[in-house]
Structure 1
Amino acid sequence: MDSEALEPDHEALVRDHTIYSCVMGSRAFGLATDTSDTDRRGVFLAPTPLFWRFDKPPTHVEGPAEEQFSWELERFCALALRANPNILECLHSPLVEYADDTGRELLALREAFLSRRAHDTFARYALGQRKKLEADVRRHGAPRWKHAMHLLRLLMSSRDLLRTGALTIDVGEQRAPLLAVKRGEVSWPEVETWMSRLATEADEAASRSPLPPEPDHARVEDYLIRVRRASALQAAPQALQTDPYDERVQGVVHGRGVGQR
């Protein structure tokens, strides 16, 4: 058989197996203007039989639409458990475009991913972005104001998460002052002071945060195992029809090793 025919169609994974999709970026943050792009993010569930091959399904897929990016469920969950800012915010987008039963169960797990780990990951990400802005100022005399705006937004989100235990990504009443930063109407020293104050407030909130020290790893893993098992069972009749004498398929689907009964 042609080896290329065995390669999974990555776009088909997004098209046919997406369990959750949402809009992110400025539109989700409440910072959109007439020229803003529509950034779409999603999660797909690769059918379990694809993992039985040497060539595993992709951990993420870019496209097929412009400004679209999707993660395979296991990769998405792993990043969320590490408190990756982009992933956690994806789970809390106010602009959900699609969610099937598995996707709705993922959304119901949002709190299981939240922990005080967010303090370190958000702060580390923010520090990296701030260094890039400072480099722009040294080279060009001014930062990329759009990036400065989004960094301020992230710092606000991090502080409020640590204070309340809830992640809210829409900026609400902060829209006007943040857009003023984007337009370059706020001086860089003022922006630096604002960033430093937000970072300090996040540090102070971390010590008394209502968030648990660690995410609920067991609850998330139980969810992942259940959806992988359901996918395997759904694929079992077709697999057995293709090769009715192959007990290996039955053994994997029903949890038996090869040669076990």
Structure 2
Amino acid sequence: MSPHTVLLSGIVGSTAYGLAHEGSDIDRLGVFAAPTEDFHGLHAPRASYVTTAPDRTLHEAAKWCRLALGGNPTAGELVWLPDELYEVRTPLGDELIAVRSSLLSAKRVRDAYLGYATQQARRLTDRAVAGPLPADARARTAKHARHLMRLCHQGLGLYTTGRLEIRLEDPDAFRAFGERVADDPAQAHPLLAAYERAFDEARSPLPDRPDEAPVEAWLRRVRAHHYAAQAAP
């Protein structure tokens, strides 16, 4: 994959949220376009590239759209980053940002964010059953607890406002929660239950289903652009 096919890329994860600490990895996420001609052969082009040095994930445009339309929190945050966190922005990348609201739907936002948070809570419970935590496991527990709270907080904000706020206003509150859960993993469950009630009681401006038409139109422009680019002498 040549670098010029990357449409949009930026810094995500703990650095974006304001939860990074000294020694934290810098995570990057991006969308790329495979050559359109490659879709006409026997084998589909590769859908994702993942590296660990540096920590970078790139999804092909169609795969990223499917993930985002499904409510995937990690994929979706790419189009809500503060401007300073983007490292690659192309005209097609800006067009993708412009249709970001079309990707959203109330049920998928709720199911995805609470679903991921519930998975985190289960991991924390499993660790508690295993007994006292060694230092490295305690640090992982605190990290997972921070991200459980973040998923709940950001998900409810997106559900109630239709906008995803990436940068946390009070990251220290999330760090403090992580430490409390590291001391007692059972502390995670009251927070999760409170957010479940908040989702139940909230009214969302989001539609029942995402609006796929603008996303489909964007993807077709990507395919047309990268076919024309190949055909040019």
> Residues 64 and 43 of structure 1: is their aligned pair in 2 closer, same or farther, counting only changes over 3 Å?
farther
- The two structures have a TM-score, normalised by structure 1, of 0.80
SS of corresponding position for 1:130: helix
1:201 matched residue in structure 2 = 198
Matching residue within 107, 120, 124 for 2:111: 120
- The two structures have a TM-score, normalised by structure 2, of 0.89
Matching residue within 213, 220, 226 for 1:231: 226
Instruction: Kindly indicate whether the alpha-carbon contact (under 8 Å) linking 1:58 and 1:72 is maintained by their aligned counterparts in 2.
Output: yes
1:157 matched residue in structure 2 = 154
Aligned residues: 223
> Residues 78 and 132 of structure 1: is their aligned pair in 2 closer, same or farther, counting only changes over 3 Å?
same
Displacement of 1:111 = 0.7
* 1:222 is the counterpart of 2:210: no
Query: Quick one: distance in 1 between partners of 2:96 and 2:114?
Result: 26
Displacement of 1:187 = 4.2
Alpha-carbon displacement from aligned partner over 1:30-61 (angstroms, at most 9, x marks no partner): 11111211001111111101112212211100
Matching residue within 189, 192, 195 for 2:189: 192
2:128 matched residue in structure 1 = 137
1:251 matched residue in structure 2 = none
Query: Quick one: distance in 1 between partners of 2:183 and 2:79?
Result: 31
Displacement of 1:154 = 0.5
Instruction: Kindly indicate whether the alpha-carbon contact (under 8 Å) linking 1:22 and 1:41 is maintained by their aligned counterparts in 2.
Output: yes
* 1:43 is the counterpart of 2:43: no
> Residues 181 and 74 of structure 1: is their aligned pair in 2 closer, same or farther, counting only changes over 3 Å?
same
2:178 matched residue in structure 1 = 182
Alpha-carbon displacement from aligned partner over 1:135-158 (angstroms, at most 9, x marks no partner): 111113456111011111110111
Question: Which residue type is aligned with residue 130 of structure 1?
Answer: A
Query: Quick one: distance in 2 between partners of 1:96 and 1:202?
Result: 31
Q: Which has the larger radius of gyration?
A: 1
Displacement of 1:65 = 4.2
Matching residue within 58, 62, 66 for 2:50: 62
Matching residue within 67, 74, 89 for 1:99: 89
Alpha-carbon displacement from aligned partner over 1:104-137 (angstroms, at most 9, x marks no partner): 1111111110111211122222222211111111
Displacement of 1:198 = 1.8
Instruction: Kindly indicate whether the alpha-carbon contact (under 8 Å) linking 1:159 and 1:199 is maintained by their aligned counterparts in 2.
Output: no
Query: Quick one: distance in 2 between partners of 1:137 and 1:187?
Result: 8
Moved more, 67-76 or 112-121: 112-121
Moved more, 22-31 or 57-66: 57-66
SS of corresponding position for 1:97: strand
Runs of at least 4 residues of structure 1 off by over 2 A? Answer: 140-143, 181-192
Structure 1 residue runs of 5 or longer lacking an equivalent are: 1-11, 239-261
